[in-house]
């Protein structure tokens, strides 16, 4: 038969069946083998994670806590002043699953100082507390050196330490006030006896006005060095502080006219002294109410020259450093303003329904103004009013009441009366 001749159909079918049979055989043998390998690997992982009893780990930097401090003080009157902050390294063993979850926060390290019976140096064993399922293999170091001393208390004064104290000119710092004057410290004699004061550090940078704040307290020794507060108890750790800062300044004494009737260009006022030196808090010194204005009653000035003395009214928050206790006030009125007297017969009673009539037939009234203004005023342009408010209660008799002067004349708006006036009124 030639090679290129087609094989009989039966032979072809036989060869195809053989190949399929071989593939099935390979599948049946290789897949189980792979599954066995995977299962073995999973079993190995499980054993390594959960069943290995010899896996170890070092946990470093475990802080040692001191216990029994209060009990030690009660039993022996002793205090410890070392040991806090000591760290140890701990070697533990156990299942890997437990080790893998372990952190430094899960490990406790303590030293019981209540076992100390006398002052001095003591090496105390470190007790390790581990989570359940773990075993302690080693502790390095396995003991902590603790020093004990007699417990004493001491009362020290509170004092300030000012920094950046560069006050501007004319400013000065006053007496500092503290919420309390002393602080009591209790602890080991070796530390307590070295403390000399409770210091409050106050930064004065850019301070030009009084201020108050709460400051921390720092305890210092005789050299001014800060004493650490480890193993110490104190009655206070912070304090209220008030720091007064005063400004000294020269202030001009202000003045004003009571009614504002005199033109500014027709009057000259001289105050002696005109300047007062005061001291106080900055906001009070620069306040408009630092010195009250001297009040000048222009209606009381009967001539063109008038003088009187007055006590300056200074804010109660300020101190008068220099300047007279009284101020002399001199008022000079220009000659352009003159006075003229009028006999006023028009007396009007107001403010009552009772029958009242003036006893006085007329009132002599003096007016001030320019010559032209006064010439525009006639006798009929001036009248006085008497307010009898409050006399409707059935009273009878003659009473003296203040009288107000009214000028109604065209061109005489700036004219005003000089002096004060009163009228007798009869109540029927």
Residue 98: per-residue pLDDT: 86
Examine residue 171 and state whether it is found in any structural domain, yes or no.
yes
Please, are residues 350 and 388 in contact by the beta-carbon 8 Å criterion?
Answer: yes
Say how far apart CA 241 and CA 202 lie, in whole Å.
Answer: 9
Mean pLDDT computed over 297-304: 92
- In the block, tokens 């390594």 appear at 48
Mean pLDDT computed over 217-232: 92
**Positive or negative, the Cα torsion across 393, 397, 403, 406?**
positive
Examine residue 128 and state whether it is found in any structural domain, yes or no.
yes
Examine residue 15 and state whether it is found in any structural domain, yes or no.
no
Please, are residues 391 and 373 in contact by the beta-carbon 8 Å criterion?
Answer: no
- In the block, tokens 């030293």 appear at 111
Structure tokens at 66: 């001191």
Examine residue 18 and state whether it is found in any structural domain, yes or no.
no
Statement to judge: residues 134 and 81 lie in one domain: yes
Say how far apart CA 292 and CA 312 lie, in whole Å.
Answer: 7
In percent, the amount of the chain with pLDDT more than 90 equals 61
Mean pLDDT computed over 224-244: 93
Statement to judge: residues 143 and 97 lie in one domain: yes
Residue 8: per-residue pLDDT: 54
Statement to judge: residues 58 and 176 lie in one domain: yes
Structure tokens at 45: 């992982």
Residue 49: per-residue pLDDT: 55
What CATH number should be reported for the domain holding residue 63? 2.170.120.30
Mean pLDDT computed over 187-195: 91
Mean pLDDT computed over 198-220: 95
Statement to judge: residues 107 and 229 lie in one domain: yes
User: Cα dist. 84→18, 87, 226, 231, 298 in Å?
Assistant: 84, 9, 19, 9, 83
Statement to judge: residues 195 and 108 lie in one domain: yes
Whether pLDDT at 18 is above 60: no
Select from 312, 333, 354 the last residue of a domain: 333
Say how far apart CA 5 and CA 259 lie, in whole Å.
Answer: 146
Statement to judge: residues 95 and 143 lie in one domain: yes
User: Cα dist. 266→272, 337, 338 in Å?
Assistant: 20, 8, 11
Number of domains, the chain? 4
pTM for this model (two decimals): 0.61
Q: Where are the alpha helices (DSSP H) in 228-306?
A: 282-285
Whether pLDDT at 2 is above 50: no
Examine residue 143 and state whether it is found in any structural domain, yes or no.
yes
Statement to judge: residues 159 and 58 lie in one domain: yes
Nearest to 386, CA basis, from 370, 368, 372, 404: 404
342 is in which domain, residue-wise? 337-427
Statement to judge: residues 82 and 132 lie in one domain: yes
List for the chain the helix, strand, coil content (%; round to 5): 20, 45, 35
User: Cα dist. 129→61, 103, 141, 199 in Å?
Assistant: 14, 13, 15, 41
Whether pLDDT at 171 is above 60: yes
Edge to edge, the sheet with strand 416-418 lists 337-344, 363-370, 416-418
Give the 3-state secondary structure of residue 71: helix
Whether pLDDT at 356 is above 90: no
Whether pLDDT at 322 is above 80: no
Select from 35, 52, 69 the last residue of a domain: 52
Nearest to 212, CA basis, from 242, 169, 170, 173: 242
Whether pLDDT at 324 is above 70: no
Say how far apart CA 176 and CA 157 lie, in whole Å.
Answer: 14
Residue 7: per-residue pLDDT: 47
Statement to judge: residues 125 and 229 lie in one domain: yes
The β-bridge partners of 269 are 331
Confidence at 3, pLDDT banded by 50, 70, 90: very low
Residue 1: per-residue pLDDT: 45
Run of H or E including 200? strand 197-203
Select from 199, 217, 243 the last residue of a domain: 243
Q: Which residue has the higher pLDDT, 17 or 310?
A: 310
Statement to judge: residues 273 and 413 lie in one domain: no
- DSSP string of 286-317? SSTTSBPPEEE-GGG--SSEEEEEE---B-TT
Statement to judge: residues 150 and 225 lie in one domain: yes
Say how far apart CA 279 and CA 170 lie, in whole Å.
Answer: 9
Examine residue 343 and state whether it is found in any structural domain, yes or no.
yes
Say how far apart CA 379 and CA 336 lie, in whole Å.
Answer: 22
Examine residue 418 and state whether it is found in any structural domain, yes or no.
yes
Say how far apart CA 45 and CA 39 lie, in whole Å.
Answer: 10
Confidence at 44, pLDDT banded by 50, 70, 90: low
273 burial (CB, 10 Å; 0-12 / 13-18 / 19+) is: middle
Examine residue 3 and state whether it is found in any structural domain, yes or no.
no
Pick from 36-45, 75-84, 276-285: least confident: 36-45
Please, are residues 282 and 245 in contact by the beta-carbon 8 Å criterion?
Answer: yes
- DSSP string of 110-148? EEEGGG--SSEEEEEEPEEE--TT-EEEEEES-EEEEEE
Confidence at 23, pLDDT banded by 50, 70, 90: low
Statement to judge: residues 117 and 192 lie in one domain: yes
């Amino acid at each position: 038969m030639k090679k290129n001749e087609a094989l009989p159909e039966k032979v072809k079918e036989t060869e195809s069946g053989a190949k399929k049979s071989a593939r099935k055989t390979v599948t049946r043998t290789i897949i189980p083998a792979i599954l066995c390998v995977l299962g073995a690997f999973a079993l190995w992982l499980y054993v390594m994670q959960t069943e290995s009893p010899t896996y170890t780990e070092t946990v470093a930097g475990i802080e040692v806590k001191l216990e029994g401090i209060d009990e030690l003080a009660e039993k022996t009157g002793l205090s410890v002043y070392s040991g806090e902050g000591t760290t140890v390294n701990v070697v533990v063993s156990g299942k890997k699953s437990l080790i893998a979850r372990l952190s430094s926060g899960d490990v406790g390290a303590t030293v019981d100082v209540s076992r100390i019976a006398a002052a001095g140096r003591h090496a105390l064993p470190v007790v390790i507390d581990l989570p359940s399922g773990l075993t302690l293999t080693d502790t390095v170091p396995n003991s902590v050196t603790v020093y004990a001393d007699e417990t004493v208390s001491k009362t020290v004064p509170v004092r300030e330490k000012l920094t950046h104290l560069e006050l501007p000119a004319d400013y000065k710092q006053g007496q500092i006030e503290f919420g309390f004057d002393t602080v009591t410290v209790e602890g080991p004699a070796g530390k307590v006896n070295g403390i000399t004061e409770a210091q409050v550090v106050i930064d004065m940078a850019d301070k030009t006005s009084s201020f108050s704040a709460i400051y921390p307290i720092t305890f210092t020794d005789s050299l001014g060095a800060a004493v650490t507060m480890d193993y110490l108890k104190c009655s206070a750790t912070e304090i209220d502080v008030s720091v007064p800062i005063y400004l000294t300044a020269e202030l001009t004494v202000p003045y004003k006219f009571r009614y504002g009737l005199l033109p500014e260009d027709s009057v000259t006022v001289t105050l002696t002294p005109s300047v007062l030196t005061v001291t106080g808090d900055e906001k009070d010194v620069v306040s408009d109410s630092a010195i009250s204005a001297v009040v000048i009653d222009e209606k009381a000035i009967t001539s063109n020259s008038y003088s009187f003395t007055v006590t300056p009214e200074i804010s109660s928050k300020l101190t008068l450093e220099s300047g007279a206790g009284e101020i002399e006030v001199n008022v000079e009125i220009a000659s352009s303003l003159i006075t003229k007297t009028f006999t006023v017969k028009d007396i009007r009673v107001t403010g009552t329904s009772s029958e009242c009539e003036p006893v006085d037939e007329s009132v002599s009234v003096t007016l001030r103004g320019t010559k032209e203004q006064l010439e525009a005023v006639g006798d009929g342009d001036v009248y006085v009013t008497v307010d009898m408010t409050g006399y409707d209660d059935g009273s009878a008799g003659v009473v003296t009441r203040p009288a107000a002067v009214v000028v109604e004349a065209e061109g005489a708006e700036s004219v005003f009366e000089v002096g004060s006036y009163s009228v007798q009124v009869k109540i029927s």
